[in-house]
């Protein structure tokens, strides 16, 4: 069952590189700020994404949330699509593989996410707990 919204963030793409040309595969890095379980954090993440037969994107990545009150590290997968005019939109799941401090309760938790980038490299992400 989809649970509560546990994280909401905004940020900026900080890196973009091509890993392969055919089919296209790219690596994206971004920085973000937001709240996780009501605690303000700074986040960083990197994911690679490749165009799939049928025209959708499949990506895998990892990242972390760091605050003065703890940290949480995740790995995830998602599927997405390119947005006309630039950017991409993804849906998927992240697995919290380590967590400490005020985020300790997230260890072993799965989150379901919506993630988007726009033509200006702005990032928005929301994560819900999967109970």
CATH number at residue 90: 2.40.160.20
Domain count, the chain: 1
Average pLDDT for residues 24-43, to the nearest whole number? Answer: 97
The pLDDT tens digits for 56-98 are 999 999 999 999 999 999 999 999 999 999 999 999 999 999 9
Q: Do 10 and 122 meet the contact criterion of CB atoms below 8 Å apart?
A: yes
What confidence category does residue 47 fall into, taking pLDDT thresholds of 50, 70 and 90? very high
Q: Is the pLDDT of residue 131 over 90?
A: no
What confidence category does residue 2 fall into, taking pLDDT thresholds of 50, 70 and 90? confident
CA distances to 8, 24, 45, 92, 122 from 50, in Å? 25, 6, 17, 15, 20
53 vs 116: CA distance, rounded Å: 21
Range of the domain at 29: 2-130
Which tokens is 13 given? 């793409």
Query: Is the sign of the CA dihedral 91, 93, 99, 104 positive or negative?
Result: positive
Pairing of strands 25-36, 2-20: antiparallel
At residue 122, the pLDDT reads 98
Q: Do 65 and 43 meet the contact criterion of CB atoms below 8 Å apart?
A: yes
């Amino acid at each position: 069952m989809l649970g509560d919204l546990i994280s909401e963030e905004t940020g900026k793409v900080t890196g973009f590189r091509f890993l392969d040309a055919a089919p296209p595969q790219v690596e994206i890095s971004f920085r973000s700020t937001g709240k996780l379980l009501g605690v303000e954090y700074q986040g960083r993440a990197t994911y690679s994404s490749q165009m799939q037969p049928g025209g959708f994107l499949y990506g895998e990545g990892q990242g972390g949330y760091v605050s003065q009150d703890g940290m949480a590290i995740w790995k995830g997968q998602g599927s997405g699509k390119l947005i006309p005019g630039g950017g991409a939109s993804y849906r998927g799941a992240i697995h919290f593989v380590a967590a400490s401090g005020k985020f300790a309760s997230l260890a072993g938790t799965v989150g379901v996410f919506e993630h988007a980038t726009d033509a200006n490299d702005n990032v928005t992400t929301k994560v819900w707990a999967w109970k």
